[in-house]
Amino acid sequence: MPDHHHLFGPFVRRFLLEEVAADRNLSLNTQRSYRDAIRLLLRFIAEHHALDPTRVTVEQVTAEVLRAFLAHLEGNRKNSVTTRNQRLFAIHSLFRFVGRQVPELVEQATQIQAIPPRCAQTPVMAYLDKDEIDALLDMPNRQRSQGRRDYALLLFLYNTGARASEAATMTIGDLALGVAPSVRLVGKGRKIRLCPLWAHTAGVLHDLVEARLDGPREAPVFLNVRGKPITRFGIHTLVARAAEKAAKTRPSLQSKPVSPHTIRHTTAVHLLRAGVDINTIRAWLGHVSLETTNRYAEVDLEMKAKALKSCAVHGPKTVAAPAPLWRRDSELMAFLTSL
């Protein structure tokens, strides 16, 4: 291998350990996302270009190779446009790092970063009506310990609009269950926000963790059936199971995708309908951009427009003018007919 070629592996290692983990201190989920994108890229290069991943050079990871990799993600792996773009952003970030480290690689890094993300259609924002979320909350059997855990988790998701990852990583120390109950949530980018809790939610959570309140404050609130911290995938499974059962009593749920994020959307829409302003909802849900929260306003406007249409006033009905007097005079009409 010529001296002017640079092995790809050392840059990947430094990028993940120094740039992503140490310098930028990105969340564990983001670190894993970057790692997975690079791993898929190296696997693609090994399979389609017969190259040993340990011997791949930066110079061999060209813009053409990356475009073929992105096409492979969508065509062969059936990734969505959103997932494809996430992989691309990770590779962009890696090559920004490479360009800063080695000036002679700046041109190649620029070519890689010039590959644009693809436009993705904004998905329809599904949310549940009040009777549907009530049906979901009625599903857990609260006579059993697992049912009480399931109910507490579903109620918590609806109260706070928390992401599945936020609920999974929430600890006992994050809860304040006193006079003004609240919870401390750690969201994307490790942004911390406080969210108020209903008195009922606080009581349910207190009952759930009461036996562990004297234990470690960093202990997770929600545990699985084996007593281990529940994962975000476990939360997805729990919500899907409850929705499947609830659909038997609320057929409208059969046509709706129900996930933890659906409950998050539901919280936002219900807050909006209750008169809570957009900025408060933005802080409540931990959105970085107000534009994200504004989508809930659009959803609610659609709902209001449908409601308005259903009770629209179309103006007074047209009343036919009374027949002229001469037409109502039978003797006159008979006389005219006889002429």
- Is residue 264 part of the annotated active site? The answer reads yes
Partners of 220 in beta bridges: 171
Structure token digits, residue 68: 């073929």
| Cα gap 101→95, rounded to integer Å | 10
Buried b (16+ CB within 10 A) or exposed e, 259-287: bbbbbbbbbbbbbbeeeeebeebbebbbb
User: Is 296 considered catalytic here?
Assistant: yes
- Whether the CB-CB separation of 219 and 211 falls below 8 Å is answered with no
HSE-CB for 277 with a 13 A CA cutoff: 2
Based on the residue annotation, tell me whether 261 is a catalytic residue of this protein. Answer: yes
Q: Which of 218, 222, 197, 199 is CA-nearest to residue 209? A: 222
Q: What contacts 162, CB < 8 A, 6 or more positions away?
A: 156, 170, 185, 195, 264
Instruction: Give which of 91, 9, 1, 6 is closest to 46, Cα–Cα.
Output: 9
Name the catalytic one among 72, 84, 92, 287. Answer: 287
Of 148, 188, 245, 256, which residue is the catalytic one? 188
Angle, alpha carbons 37-43-49 (nearest 5°): 125
Q: Is 188 a catalytic residue?
A: yes
Given the residues 87, 149, 250, 261, the one annotated as active site: 261
Please pick, among 72, 84, 163, 282, the residue that the annotation labels catalytic: 163
Give Cβ neighbours of residue 67 (< 8 Å, ≥ 6 apart): 115
Query: What is the C-alpha to C-alpha distance for residues 223 and 258, in angstroms, rounded to an integer?
Result: 22
Active site members: 163, 188, 261, 264, 287, 296
